[in-house]
């Protein structure tokens, strides 16, 4: 009896292990290059480090993005179980803990799904019980859903699934004591999906209880929801406030986008950014429409999964992306399993004599929808899937002896699982997995920072692998100007890209990524820079070398530039913001390099006016227009460049590198270049010049960056001068026009006059502690982005904060010696703690009361 009971769960566990082994190449981690490596893994390590250093599970401030409210990154791990475990086991890399957590959660979700499907509701009629074989097929369809691709990519799309099924199981068994705690774990795993999960649970509860839900169940449901939200307030409240502070505008949607149907039925079928189920599920949902017992459930699930309006509502009216529908997978699987259970037993058991039968009419609807997938890359697989379902339906209608019919129907039902399994195996490794040596390279590179004696008034960056290291704090005390999160300080990002003309290097403009831009490196105080020997920007000197940690045999070096601006200093050389805004882009770059930009109402007689005069007190641009002269270069056959009246049209048949030597080397100069790109194809345009990348995202990018103006800044640290441009063109057809060149004297980077501060060790909620001894009234300037919750304390008194240089915290300062501290309280954090504590006590009270009953 025990063996029979455990046969199908054991089979599911065995198949799970086999599938993971089949998709994972040797020497690789269970994780993708996209997002998983650049955001989830690195941020998990950074959050854990911050938790340990700040002695809290919810750090208020993280040294990313110039210094940011920690709740800008809470989506990536605050209070998540694997990171909490990581805090208890600091010697184990977070990458291993995260992979173990995801795979364990995935397997437990599958096994719990089987248990949920086979468990009877108290008082349930035995004829409605789902048989183990049907539950096995349903659980297999659940396990092979393409959405589980996200277990190694966007893990928050799926890591709540175990707790969602636990919640559904608690409703089914009417065990509500731990229900708020289960909901709490849904929020801390992925609060973005909490609304969808609550909608799924409410619908399931309603369908389980029927009319009595509105008389009794609704009160218990709402009480549990409010208690769980209150218990998670220490996460949800400060996160909500930081989202509101840095919220981004979205493109308005047309009525057709809102009220239309999802393209290719992507909310339900095949897509890893939707439920990712297969044709058999659509067939069964359609079949359910023909029977009163199943009609309401099938109609609801079909509407939710195919009508864009549902996704629009669940996404908070931001967009209609179907990824928000992933929590509905268990409900679809339950409905399909109930129908399969009835179909398999139909005509072989007396009480199923009036049950559903394998009908042909849903196949007609599937045939009518076939044109949707003609241009899909999986069209062949989809055709095979439809064919198998059609074959099974035909075979199921063959008459014969009852015993043989039952066996045949069971075998033919197994045929329905072939395509889901095959499609799962080809979908899961869609992205290349991360090789172990890639993370080992990052670890080796981190040792260079860990072994260096870093000054706390300066920052560090890594140009070796900008996307995959921007969120990683590589050593204690390291501060970074880079970051990659879905919540970005928009003023900081604007200064980064609009004022300092930093290149946009990836498909979206959310990431603030480091580059060799010498203006930005100087302004942000990037004193320590990890790069390759042949891509060292002006002013940096090699302090250590690491050959083992480099890719492709290149030499990794840690460099230092002692002349960059510190994070905090005092200056008297200022310019009014209104005067600054009158300048063109390149003059603004020059002005912010040499002066400090302050609000108009705080300016004084030291302000530099913008005029055309030549007096020393007037602003004079040091940007020089330039027309470079290149030596003749033979182009490879893979690229054709033709001059047009608008510019230069490039037809690049494959990725091509071309070197353009300058006729005369540019010594002690920074070369600036920008041009407009007009894409003539649907592919992304990527142009690398001397190690600096710009990218215009392709037509299919989910978050297009709109980067049609490519900016570059080239400098040389060798002393020999800049003598060539090594340009790598991506494949595609695109027009380059409006090319603009400028030169800038390298020595001007260190022209700004300022008084240094002396840093002290911070305490408590201080993010900066220093002293300044100044001889004249001036301004205390930082390159820490101004944000809500920040205070500046001078000599024990709270002083007004100014927004300087368009995005950063500063203050007026009188002459003399001053003790200066910058304090940060994450808005809503303290209130969140108290709400969580009170909600936890309320939950314990209600739980105890229920136990006493």
Count of beta carbons in the 10 Å neighbourhood of residue 440: 12
Output the CA angle 47-52-55, nearest 5 degrees. Answer: 110
Residue 351: predicted pLDDT = 42
Residue labelled with tokens 């959405």? 147
Three-state DSSP at 566 gives: coil
Other beta carbons less than 10 A from residue 565's beta carbon: 24
Three-state SS string over 548-563 comes to CCCCCCCCEEEEECCC
The rounded distance, in Å, linking the Cα atoms of 675 and 695 is 12
Q: For position 456, what pLDDT does the model report?
A: 86
H/E segment holding residue 532: strand 526-532
| CA dihedral sign of residues 89, 92, 97, 100 | negative
Token pair belonging to 823: 């304090």
Q: What is the distance between the alpha carbons of residues 344 and 407, in angstroms, rounded to a whole number?
A: 10
Coil vs helix vs strand at 724: strand
User: What does R_g of the chain's alpha carbons equal in angstroms?
Assistant: 31
Fold of 639-750: Jelly Rolls (2.60.120)
CA-to-CA distance for 528 and 558, rounded, in angstroms? 7
Scan for tokens 């006059």, then name that residue: 753
HSE value, Cβ hemisphere, 13 Å, CA-based, for 34: 11
Q: What is the pLDDT of residue 613?
A: 38
Q: Within 25-77, where are the H helices?
A: 42-54
Supply the pLDDT for residue 616: 38
| Torsion sign over Cα 604, 608, 612, 613 | positive
CA dihedral sign of residues 367, 373, 375, 377: negative
* Cβ atoms of residues 325 and 318 within 8 Å: no
What is the CB neighbour count within 10 angstroms for residue 748? 16
Q: Mean pLDDT per segment of 10 residues, for the chain of length 853 residues? A: 74 94 89 86 92 91 94 92 94 93 96 92 67 92 94 93 96 90 95 94 92 87 94 96 82 72 79 91 93 92 90 82 93 94 63 68 82 70 86 79 67 83 84 80 69 83 87 81 90 94 88 92 93 87 72 75 94 92 94 93 65 55 93 90 91 94 91 95 93 89 86 86 92 94 93 90 90 90 96 94 95 93 95 96 80 51
Tokens (6 digits) for 372: 């949707």
Q: Are 5 and 413 in contact (CB under 8 A)?
A: no
Name 540's Cβ contacts closer than 8 Å, sequence gap at least 6. Answer: 529, 531, 559, 560, 561, 717
Q: What is the residue whose two structure tokens read 């989830």?
A: 40
- How far is 572 from 558, CA to CA, in rounded Å? 33
Bridge partners (DSSP) listed for residue 797: 794
Tokens of 694: 């710009």
Q: 């007096």: which residue's tokens?
A: 615
Q: Measuring CA to CA, which residue among 625, 623, 714 is closest to residue 666?
A: 714
The pLDDT score that the predictor gives to residue 428 is 83
Question: So where are the chain's domains?
Answer: 639-750, 755-829
Which residues lie below 8 Å from residue 188, measured CB to CB, with a gap of 6+? 78, 79, 80, 81, 232, 235
Question: Rounded distance, CA 339 to CA 776, Å?
Answer: 82
| Rounded-to-10 torsion of CA 273, 279, 283, 286 | 30
Distance in angstroms (rounded) separating the CA atoms of residues 650 and 639:
7
Q: What distance lies between CA 237 and its chain's CA centroid?
A: 20
């Amino acid at each position: 009896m025990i063996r029979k009971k455990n046969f199908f769960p054991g089979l599911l566990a065995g198949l799970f292990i086999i599938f993971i082994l089949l998709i994972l190449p040797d020497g690789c981690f269970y994780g993708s290059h996209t997002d998983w490596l650049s955001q989830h893994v690195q941020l998990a390590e950074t959050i854990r480090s911050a938790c340990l250093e700040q002695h809290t599970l919810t750090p208020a401030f993280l040294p990313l993005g110039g210094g940011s409210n920690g709740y800008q990154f809470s989506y990536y791990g605050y209070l998540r179980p694997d990171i909490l475990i990581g805090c208890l086991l600091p010697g184990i890399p977070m990458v291993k803990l995260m992979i173990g957590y995801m795979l364990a959660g995935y397997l437990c979700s599958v096994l719990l799904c089987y248990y949920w499907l086979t468990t009877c509701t108290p008082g349930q009629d035995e004829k409605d019980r789902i048989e183990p074989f049907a539950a096995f097929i349903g659980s297999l369809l659940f396990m092979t859903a393409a959405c589980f691709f996200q277990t190694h990519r966007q893990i928050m799309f799926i890591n709540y699934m175990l707790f969602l099924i636990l919640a559904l199981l608690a409703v089914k068994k009417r065990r509500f004591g731990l229900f708020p705690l289960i909901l709490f774990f849904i929020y801390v795993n992925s609060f973005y999906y909490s609304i969808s999960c609550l909608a799924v649970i409410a619908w399931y509860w309603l369908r389980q209880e029927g009319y009595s839900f509105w008389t009794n169940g609704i009160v218990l449901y709402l009480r549990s929801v409010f208690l769980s939200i209150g218990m998670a307030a220490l996460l949800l409240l400060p996160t909500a406030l930081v989202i509101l502070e840095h919220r981004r505008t979205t493109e308005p949607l047309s009525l057709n986008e809102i009220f239309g149907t999802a393209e290719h039925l992507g909310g339900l079928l095949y897509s890893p950014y939707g439920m990712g189920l297969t044709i058999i599920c659509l067939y069964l949902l359609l079949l359910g429409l023909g029977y009163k017992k199943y009609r309401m459930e099938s109609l609801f699930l079909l509407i939710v999964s195919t009508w864009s309006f549902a996704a629009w509502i669940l996404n908070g009216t931001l967009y209609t992306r179907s990824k928000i529908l992933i929590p509905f997978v268990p409900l679809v699987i339950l409905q399909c399993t109930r129908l399969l259970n009835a179909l398999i037993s139909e005509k072989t058991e007396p009480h199923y004599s009036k049950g559903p039968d394998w009908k042909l009419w849903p196949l007609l609807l599937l045939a009518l929808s076939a044109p949707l997938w003609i241009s899909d890359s999986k069209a062949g697989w989809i055709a095979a899937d439809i064919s198998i379902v059609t074959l099974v339906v035909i075979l199921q209608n063959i008459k014969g002896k009852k015993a043989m019919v039952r066996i045949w129907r069971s075998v033919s039902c197994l045929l329905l699982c072939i395509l889901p399994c095959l499609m799962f195996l080809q979908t899961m490794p869609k992205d290349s997995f991360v090789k172990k040596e890639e993370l080992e390279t990052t670890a080796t590179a981190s040792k260079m920072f860990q072994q260096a004696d870093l000054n706390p008034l300066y920052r560090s960056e890594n140009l070796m692998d900008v996307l995959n290291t921007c969120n990683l704090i590589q050593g204690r005390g390291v501060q970074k100007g880079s970051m990659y999160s879905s919540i970005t300080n928009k003023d900081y990002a604007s200064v980064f890209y609009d004022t300092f003309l930093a290149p946009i290097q990836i498909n979206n403009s959310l990431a603030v990524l480091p580059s060799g831009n010498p203006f930005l490196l100087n302004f942000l105080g990037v004193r320590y820079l990890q790069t390759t020997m042949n891509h060292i920007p002006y002013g940096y000197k090699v302090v250590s070398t690491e050959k083992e940690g480099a890719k492709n045999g290149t030499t990794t070096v840690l460099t230092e530039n002692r002349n960059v601006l510190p994070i905090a200093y005092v200056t008297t050389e200022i310019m009014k913001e209104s005067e600054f805004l009158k300048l063109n882009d390149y003059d603004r770059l020059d002005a912010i390099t040499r002066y400090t930009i302050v609000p108009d109402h705080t300016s004084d007689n030291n302000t530099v006016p913008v005029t055309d005069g030549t007096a020393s007190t007037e602003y004079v641009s040091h940007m020089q227009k330039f027309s470079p002269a290149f030596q003749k270069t033979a182009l490879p056959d893979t690229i054709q460049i033709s001059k047009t009246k608008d510019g230069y049209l490039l037809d690049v048949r494959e990725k091509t590198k071309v070197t353009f030597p300058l006729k005369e080397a540019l010594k002690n100069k920074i070369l600036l270049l920008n041009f407009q790109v007009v894409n003539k194809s649907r592919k992304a345009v990527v142009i690398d010049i001397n190690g600096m990348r710009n990218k215009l995202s392709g037509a299919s990018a989910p978050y297009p960056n709109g980067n049609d103006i490519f900016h570059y800044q080239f400098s040389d640290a060798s002393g020999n001068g800049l003598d060539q441009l090594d340009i790598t063109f991506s494949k595609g057809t695109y027009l380059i026009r409006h090319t603009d060149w400028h030169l800038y004297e390298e020595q001007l980077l260190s022209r700004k006059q300022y008084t240094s501060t002396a840093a002290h060790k911070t305490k408590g909620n201080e993010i900066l502690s220093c002293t300044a001894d100044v001889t004249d009234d001036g301004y205390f300037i930082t390159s820490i982005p101004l944000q809500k919750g920040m205070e500046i304390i001078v000599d024990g008194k709270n002083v007004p904060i100014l927004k300087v240089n368009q995005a950063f915290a500063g203050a007026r300062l009188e002459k003399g010696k001053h003790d200066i501290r910058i304090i940060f309280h994450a808005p809503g954090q303290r209130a969140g703690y108290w709400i969580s504590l009170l909600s936890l006590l309320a939950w314990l009270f209600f739980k105890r009361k229920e136990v006493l009953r």
